[in-house]
Structure 1
């Protein structure tokens, strides 16, 4: 009795010629009349000989499925089958090349899909060998597929090896983060700890993984991690974590994350308005070290009392100084309660808000494919640009769009 290589249906010997479909190019069996639709390319070609290009269409029969079935039938044990499947990975990897042939990864992924599916079907017994594949082949593309397999199996033994790959700044770390999302709270202890690591890659990749795990612990770790980085002025960490929090709010419609993001957006809008209205303050805001308080020689925290007392105190300081443009600007700003409050607010928030603004506008430039010359734009145009960048981000529904 002959079996269809695609759907495994039994075909009587006398009907094989009529019902079994073969590739028009290589004559290999690709299915039968029960699973292949007449008039389609899948009815006439295998995936390797698709006229549109090899391995472009997952709907066509993949000949490597035949190899996986032969391995299954010929293996003396489950362990033997796993070893042979791992061998298929290494064999195909040698054919397609190493880490620098990125444009051929999709081809490798499709060729190995039957073997990947079989390892996922085997499940936990395959985990040690797949972990070893992930570790030993970090510089080749099969490590990406190994990370995917571990995520699909979901065995907790894979959590630490996957987390270890997050320390790298490459595509594999993102594949590992995608896989870790499948583990849920069992990955939380490792990911939470990595939010405070010294390496930017590990922290950012961990925040991305957390954005795909629905848990109160996830958003708690993201918010605390972001606030820690703000206190430490680690801006290369802050902006990606902000995107992860936004991704979490969109992925799970989480109110706490959404409110946190909205509050930051309100800070951004307020900062931008103050910046545009008082551009002459910028030389006296962080990261510059001299402030208006330094110019007048007063302690910001020492300005106590009502507005009249503070104004008299500042006037006394002002009278003892040479009337330079800088001294005049500092005095005119600090003597008025509203301006003094606005300037003090900018001292706290300017550096972070400026970094975040440039980060968002930079991402907007990438999407638009054009450079935005902010120096040539008036305040209203800058505000409109920033708001359009935020609106575009609000449209995104999955965290993967934020990277």
Structure 2
């Protein structure tokens, strides 16, 4: 049989592992190069919408992830004092988009994706540099500290500060600060047995609390603040200062966290779209291509979409760019617009926003869900199929 083509994936995050699994199912040899010591991700949750779950169905793990995750949506939007502005219904979202929105720890998803890869596929502590993107007449080349690899396809899945993106498009300005920073925790919360998922919008600040299926709580916060800031003491104390007087269970969640449990990161996004998501035999996906604010919960979902579409167009990278660039550019821009609404500090704008959300909620869940039309109803370009049989 013909020797299968070789792909090298730079980056072992969600997008990179999904791409590796999808390319393997297309019969390609794949090597994943991850610079970290392990695939263990930063401790945070991830929301998977129906579009991302359908992409995982292509790999045969969509139902596994649905079983491991908690359905997201039975809750709603609140004010800092606790008043409900809107109530959401997980079943309504599932009925509209054909699948639920689910929430799980990133490590759970990483483990399920890694289990799809044969032993030896992933090389950790393997920082990699793209030395040649390749072309129709020559392979792409990637260098590590130990060797140089040639490949018919290189996938840059190396995150928001992508070195691959810089090599392909050195004149691009890269990511910009989105205007706000985030805090995240995944912890058990003693004494808080049951509560509804919620997101709470304040003045230039927001908080979200969501139970995970394993009994822990995933909580996140965001605030408009200058880039590069840090708490004068620790980030738990900063959460107390900013959110400690908000409604229950927010104070209890903060109290249950240790200072070392709290992760803080500035939010950045790629404001100027790239001219393409490929050059030569090299393609970009996920945050390396189109980093976006988390306000629509689509960053990971779009990386997963990218991966299965890239595998479909692995021999025609211009088709991959054509399929992905318009869609992801539109979602980045929508995420930025939503962030401006969510995070506004203008009192008059907050009053108008809250009134509008309450009115839409009274009109029924369909109007609130309409904002995800064209996003959550996406379907992959090919259906799930059995992995190729190794005939060697």
Q: Give the shorter-chain TM-score range.
A: under 0.3
Q: Greater strand share, 1 or 2?
A: 2
Higher relative contact order (CA 8 A, sep 6+): 2
Computing the radius of gyration from Cα coordinates, the structure with the larger value is 1
Q: Greater helix share, 1 or 2?
A: 1
